[in-house]
Amino acid sequence: MLHATIERFLPFIRTLDTDQPLTKQDLLTTSLLMECDGDLCMYYAPHNDYINKDASIVIVGITPGWQQMKIAFEQFVKSLSSGDSLETCLKETKHAARFAGAMRKNLQYMLDECGIPNALGIPASANLFGNSRHLLHTTSIIKYPVFINGKNYTGHQPPIRSSAILQHYAWVTFPDELASIQPPTLVIPLGKTAEQIITRLAEEKKLHGHTYLTGLPHPSGANGHRVKQFQQQKRQLQEKIKAWADGRM
């Protein structure tokens, strides 16, 4: 069923001109504003409204950043202008915007090294973003892009627990989304903040039926400790992925 939120923003989205790259002036506008809490503002973006309920792997970030938001709107408008259905537009937008850029390359390397291709019976993790994309769902603890004074929110300042808006998405919207996906699914949080939220949700018994993989560093190039952290966690990640794969057989 089409996510109802998009209907609120469709009239404005149809006015966007993508003959030139979209800018923050185009998208960080009151026409796409969802909620504000002090300097923290959440804007609508269309790439997290599509949920792959049959996914084998779910990869979870904190919140979409500007680059994902920009790519999402450019793809969505392109798909919409081609006459695709809204459901198809959302699906194509999801595929185009998920972990775009260098971050995807770093993520694919770690997933390969951990044994994800063997667990899924695919040649490489890159296939999850190509002809095996039906196996993957990507999402965020905070579903829509959040900015602080126009800059990407990183999950730290303010802490999620200090904002009623962020808490609602982390403690209600996100668990509801995971509950809609058929187990047994391997859920992979990226970085400590996403991992901590998922751990707390599990402790509060708000998550059920999936396997949660902890210890994978955030693949962002800005994470200078990424390589060292990964090498320290690699063995236990491999073991947990193998156990999950064996349990699916």
Range of the domain at 183: 50-248
Spatial strand order in the sheet of 33-37: 33-37, 40-43, 146-148, 151-152
Asked if residue 11 is part of any domain, the answer here is: no
Query: Do the domain assignments include residue 211?
Result: yes
- Flag whether 217 is in a domain: yes
Neighbour tally for 177: CB within 10 Å: 19
- Inside any domain, residue 155: yes
Question: Is there a domain that residue 148 lies in?
Answer: yes
Query: Could you report the per-residue pLDDT of 166-180, keeping only the tens digit for each?
Result: 999 999 999 999 999
Q: How far apart are CA 126 and CA 133, in angstroms?
A: 9
Is 100 within a domain?
yes
Work out the average pLDDT over 79-105.
88
- The average pLDDT across 32-47 equals 95
What is the domain count for the chain?
Answer: 1
Q: Which residue has the higher pLDDT, 36 or 98?
A: 36
Confirm whether 41 is domain-assigned.
no
- The CA distance from 90 to 76, in Å, is 7
- The residues, any chain, with a CB within 8 Å of residue 109's CB and separated by 6 or more, are 125
Residues of the chain with pLDDT > 70, as a percent, come to 98
* CA dihedral sign, ordered 106, 110, 111, 117: positive
Residue 39 covered by a domain: no
Considering the chain, what percentage of its residues have pLDDT values greater than 90? Answer: 75
pTM of the full structure: 0.93
Say which CATH number the domain at 56 has. 3.40.470
